[in-house]
Structure 1
Amino acid sequence: MPKIGRFKNDASHEAHDRAYQAMEALWPIPSTQLDVPTSFGSTHVRRSGSGDKTPIVLLHSVGANSLQWHFVVEDLSRDRVVYALDTIGTAGRSVQTAPLTSESDFATWIGDVLNELGLDRVHLVGYSHGAWHAVLMALHAPERLESVTLIEPGGVFDKPSWGVLFKMIRFGMRRTDENMRKMNEWMTPGYDIPESQFVCAKEALNYRPGIGWARVLKDAEVRSIAVPVLVIYGAETIVATPELAAARVAELLPRAEIQVYPGTGHGILGQIPDRVIPRILQFIQNNDHSSESNIGRADRRNSAS
């Protein structure tokens, strides 16, 4: 039965909000925060950067929020506006009021956000679970996308092993600080998240999400993706078998670009941002068809004020 995401109680909501506020100190550049209405509730958006190139929209991973991008947003926004979203139905400052009843609803939600921001087309970048949501946009509303970048899209092109899933469940059953740190070390080796981000992720465990999980796409679905796609994996990731996933994408979507980085895992964005971000920006630049109409009404209002 479709759900509406919510915190366990008011106390857990307040604790997460305090942790979210503390984590905001990690955002390194000026930002404007917006709360835009959609068919599924209010969506919290953080806007940074300037320029008239096609904007970038960022979708975060499970248990995270828009602030997850704090250590790469400065580079991403050097010559364009970047919008980081708190995914509807997850812990954050978005407030879900209606259930997402189908996969296409995610495309409707993102489309509603773009409409409210006055954006015609964007470059969409999703990390982990956010990559699944980006895929759904590519499948159901490709006309709104210049490109889509999928970072560590576990469970999308191949299925994680049962051993990995069982280990995740075991970690989830014992939510101590020690156990959470062990899980982070296992899932994202080589990247130690800041303490305020750790606290925020811990408080997010008291949120009962209103969204589902990724599923492996059918062959016909992969073939149907018409927008430019960049797929990025860490070679040692636990959420996929990169060589199998890459081979499947190459066979079914030969025009897609695939990058697998040796010696990295699921936390690849934190491990080697100096290699991953330039790769993403080059891909975006190669697929950029910018125009003033893509700046967005919100940005034009701010420029005029």
Structure 2
Amino acid sequence: MLLHGSGSNSAEWAGRLPALIGTFRVYAVDVIGEPGMSAETRPPLDGDRYAAWLDAVLDHFAVDRAAFLASSFGGWLALDHATRRPARVAALALQCPVGLGPMKKAFVVKSVLLALLGEKGRRKAMADTLGEPASSPIVEHQLLVSANYRYRTGPFPVFGDAALGRLTMPVYAVVGADDAMVDSATTKRRLEAFGAEVDLLPGTGHYLPDAGALEFLTRAVANGDFTG
């Protein structure tokens, strides 16, 4: 099950699908409330509404238990589901997940100030947030999205130790050392305290197109953690 980040949709995974479908049966879903083809409903983050939605998605495909590959806000959704429904999650592969430490406030202030400079400032703000060059097609795409989409405001809830203690499945995460949004050192420290495998990539920001997840998931299959 592939879960994209906020302000994105399942097309985010297009470049990864050829490698994944050789080993796995893959479902790439548009998260509700995001700029995709699913419902525009945006449930609150402080309840189990998103977990109930993911239950419905799994039930629709007659999948009792799945591995999740998730990015950013998708990582939060996967963690939320895994802490509430551990029996339905076989493994977690997370890319720059939010919800494990405080978001960096400086990037918000900087983005607001840059936005006052017009299109050039908005482009630089987006590039700095993603950790990509201003000329990157990823930045171009997200600028188009941001012109037609209302992003979430306010912090993402941080998972407590009791919730993380319910992660009974294999967990892998990869985070960028230069992530402008997320405190990657705290993410690494907290996940490793609960037995997760975490790679901290130097010189890397929030956008991670391909980093370690396939190898981890393939190992999980080989170890019998779930049936691919």
TM-score, reference length from structure 1: 0.65
Q: RMSD of aligned C-alpha atoms?
A: 2.7
Question: Deviation at 1:213?
Answer: 4.9
What is the aligned partner in structure 2 of residue 261 from structure 1?
Answer: 201
Q: 1:144 and 1:239, CA in 2 relative to 1: closer, same or farther beyond 3 A?
A: same
Matched, 1:207 2:149: yes
Match of 2:215 among 282, 300, 304: 282
When structure 1 is superposed on structure 2, of 60-69 and 242-251 the one drifting more is 242-251
Question: Deviation at 1:193?
Answer: 4.3
Q: 1:186 and 1:137, CA in 2 relative to 1: closer, same or farther beyond 3 A?
A: same
Three-state SS of the structure 2 residue aligned to 1:287 is helix
Q: Which amino acid is the alignment partner of residue 165 of structure 1?
A: V
- Indicate conservation of the 8 Å contact 2:6/2:151, yes or no: no
Matched, 1:85 2:18: no
- Indicate conservation of the 8 Å contact 1:249/1:256, yes or no: yes
Question: Deviation at 1:250?
Answer: 2.0
Can you list the C-alpha shifts for 1:98-133, whole angstroms capped at 9, x where unaligned?
A: 845743111110110111111121111111111111
Q: 1:95 and 1:212, CA in 2 relative to 1: closer, same or farther beyond 3 A?
A: farther
> Matches of residues 1-305 of structure 1 in structure 2 within 5 Å?
57-96=1-40, 99-100=43-44, 102-154=46-98, 156-171=99-114, 174=116, 176-190=118-132, 193-194=136-137, 198-199=140-141, 201-208=143-150, 213-251=155-193, 253=194, 255-269=195-209, 273=210, 276=211, 279-288=212-221, 289=224, 290-291=226-227
Q: Which amino acid is the alignment partner of residue 230 of structure 1?
A: Y
- Give me the whole-angstrom Cα distance separating, in 2, the residues matched to 1:218 and 1:238: 23
Question: Deviation at 1:96?
Answer: 3.4
Q: Which amino acid is the alignment partner of residue 13 of structure 2?
A: W
Q: Which amino acid is the alignment partner of residue 90 of structure 1?
A: E
- Give me the whole-angstrom Cα distance separating, in 2, the residues matched to 1:110 and 1:175: 40
Three-state SS of the structure 2 residue aligned to 1:264 is coil
- Indicate conservation of the 8 Å contact 2:23/2:218, yes or no: no
When structure 1 is superposed on structure 2, of 132-141 and 234-243 the one drifting more is 234-243
More strand by share: 1
Question: Deviation at 1:200?
Answer: 6.4
Question: Deviation at 1:73?
Answer: 1.7
Q: 1:228 and 1:189, CA in 2 relative to 1: closer, same or farther beyond 3 A?
A: same
